[in-house]
Amino acid sequence: MSRTKAVEPSFMDLIAVKEAQASKLSSGAEGKITYQLALSTDRKQVFIALVDSGSQGYFSREWINTDAILEILESLGQRAEAFPSKVLLPVFVGRSSNNAPFLAAALLAEKLLGRDGKLESKLRVFDDASSWKKAVLALKGKPMRVRLDGKPILSTSQASITSSEPNIGQGKTQETEHAADSSE
């Protein structure tokens, strides 16, 4: 019988530069999406992560390099056609059906996307992605260490406590150096 080995999570050091909220795409939806922007430590790449759905909607909290998003937007912008949010699904590893619309809501708030004038469910690309990226790269921020899958980072002592004694008060999961702790 073969045993599968636990996969070690991947970590990345980033610079948290912005946390903001965005209205959801559907006019009847409750709550707002909270997202974060962060930079690579060499300040050459911008990353985005969805942090909170503002309701009970599931989503992936993974960190996405915006270069992948901007590449999709560039190809869509060249077509000059309206499109649904699902075109953003390929940038995610996670498969929640909310990922694409929640990311699209964040991109609307960042003014990278706009609503189609005819169909509310369709989007259009605004053509100023390079200026947006330059502006974000110039933001000041605070260093943070994140897991690429978006899960909280546990200190070594917390991880051993929670795995050996999951039902005691001291074993509660504590987020340390997590992206959501970067609001100052």
Mean pLDDT of 155-177: 38
- Residue pair 64/91 in contact by the 8 Å Cβ criterion: yes
Task: Tell whether 5 is covered by a domain.
Answer: no
Task: Tell whether 56 is covered by a domain.
Answer: yes
Nearest to 59 by CA among 24, 27, 83: 24
Strand partners, 32: 23
Give the pLDDT of residue 5.
64
Q: What is the tally of structural domains in the chain? A: 1
Give the pLDDT of residue 117.
84
Structural domain that includes position 141:
11-150
- Please write the tens of the pLDDT for every residue from 109-141: 999 999 998 887 899 998 689 999 999 999 999
Task: Tell whether 34 is covered by a domain.
Answer: yes
DSSP state of 55: S
29 pLDDT tier (thresholds 50, 70, 90): confident
157 pLDDT tier (thresholds 50, 70, 90): very low
Task: Tell whether 109 is covered by a domain.
Answer: yes
Task: Tell whether 48 is covered by a domain.
Answer: yes
Task: Tell whether 41 is covered by a domain.
Answer: yes
Q: What is the mean pLDDT of the chain?
A: 82
Task: Tell whether 4 is covered by a domain.
Answer: no
Task: Tell whether 141 is covered by a domain.
Answer: yes
